[in-house]
Every structure is written in structure tokens, then in C-alpha cells.
Structure 1
Amino acid sequence: MVVWPSNIDSTKSRSEGRKISLKDSVKSPKPKELIEAAKELGILISVEEKSYPSNWWQEKTRIIVLKSKRKIELLKELASKIKEIRMRKRQ
């Protein structure tokens, strides 16, 4: 399963690639944050330098995840973990 940062980005619209609700999403997630969140959740990932088709000039990283659950559930978990990581770094 492919996960792009824009899938959980609250600054993106649904037509721009956001897959989860605004309340569950994260403002401008970075690929490093996605990778860190996946590792903390114990999710096996592979990172590839690829462009997101609808905004090929911006995003250059995608995360390949072994499918273990529904994509929406996974995206919500990743977004929640990124929020937690950001809170920890602020303290």
C-alpha cells in the first residue's frame, strides 16, 4: 500500500489527495515524520523517492507499507502518531 504525505495533510483538499477528515489530519506532514511515526507504530515500510502524480513538482517521497489493515485506519493512526511526536518535541 502506498502512503503519501498529502494523504494526511490538512492543508490539502480531498481532490488534492487528502484521504482522512480534517480533524484527523495533520498540517503539512513531512516525510521524515511519516517514517518516524511508522517506526514507532511498528509498521514495516520502504521509502521511495517518487513524485505524487497530481503535484509532481512538490512531493518527492512516498512510503510503501505492508498492508495489515484498511488504508484509512492506517492513515488515521499515522496522523495521530505524528501529532503525538510533535507534542513531545514541543516540550
Structure 2
Amino acid sequence: MSKEYRGKRVVLWPVNIDSSASRGEGRKIPLRDAVRKPRVEEIVEAARRLGLNPVVEEARYPRKWWEQTKRIIVDKAGSKLETLRRIAAEVKRLREEKKLRHSD
């Protein structure tokens, strides 16, 4: 991430909000706030809904450097943890809406 964004944007890896990941594996938020196996597409949609201007980049998560994955860079909304919590909550809402649409 370039210096011009420092303090204004946040790098988010899907594992940061994944309830199936441990803190040691990279989860940053409490289990009660986390989402099971979040997909990049869900995170991007949640960030869009929150007006956080998401940008997806191909990258390797440092703790699993051998796996090619993606990271999402978003505008910062409060602290990094608060931004992660808000995105996780929005992913949960997206999943609920999807479930309701499919149950009709």
C-alpha cells in the first residue's frame, strides 16, 4: 500500500474476519463478530454498501506465503478493528438477505 494512503485505508485479508480461523492464524476480531469462511466477493460487496471504496489485489498472506490469495484495501472507518467489525456485520446481513430471498 502506498504512503499516500497511510492512515486513511486498511488492508483486509479474508482470514481477519473468519470465525473458523484462530487468532494465531490471523483472525483480528472476536469470534462473536466474525463470519465463517468469508469470500472475497462478499467482503467487497459489504465494503461497497458501507461506502468504503474496496480495491482487490492479488497477494500472499504473510503467515501463509506459499498460498496465492487476495487482499482487499478499503477506506478506514474508525480504527482498523472497527472497520473489520463493520464489514463482518455487513457480510452477515448480506448472507441473511440472500437466505431470505432463497426461502421465498
Greater radius of gyration (CA): 2
Secondary structure in 2 matching 1:15: coil
C-alpha deviation, 1:45, in angstroms: 1.9
Secondary structure of the structure 2 residue equivalent to 1:28 = coil
Report the secondary structure of 1:14's partner residue: coil
Instruction: Say whether residues 1:87 and 2:96 are aligned partners.
Output: yes
Bigger RCO (CA 8 Å, 6+ sep): 1
CA drift at 1:46: 1.3
Report SS of the residue matched to 2:55: strand
Show structure 1 runs of 5+ residues with no match. none
Instruction: Specify every segment of 5 or more residues in structure 2 that has no aligned partner in the other structure, as ranges.
Output: 1-9
* 2:50 partner letter: L
Q: Which amino acid aligns with 2:41?
A: K
2-side partners of 1:15 and 1:59: how far apart? 19
Between 16-25 and 67-76, report the one with greater CA deviation.
67-76
Percent identity (aligned): 47
Alignment RMSD: 1.2
- 1:39 and 2:35 matched: no
The answer to whether residue 26 in structure 2 is matched with residue 17 in structure 1 is: yes
Give the aligned length: 91
Q: Does 1:60 align with 2:72?
A: no
Q: Contact conserved, 2:14 with 2:38, CA < 8 A, in 1? A: yes
Stretch of structure 1 that moved more, 44-53 or 24-33: 44-53
TM-score under structure 1 normalisation? 0.93
- What is the TM-score when the length of structure 2 is the normalising length? 0.82
2:76/2:83 contact within 8 Å kept: no
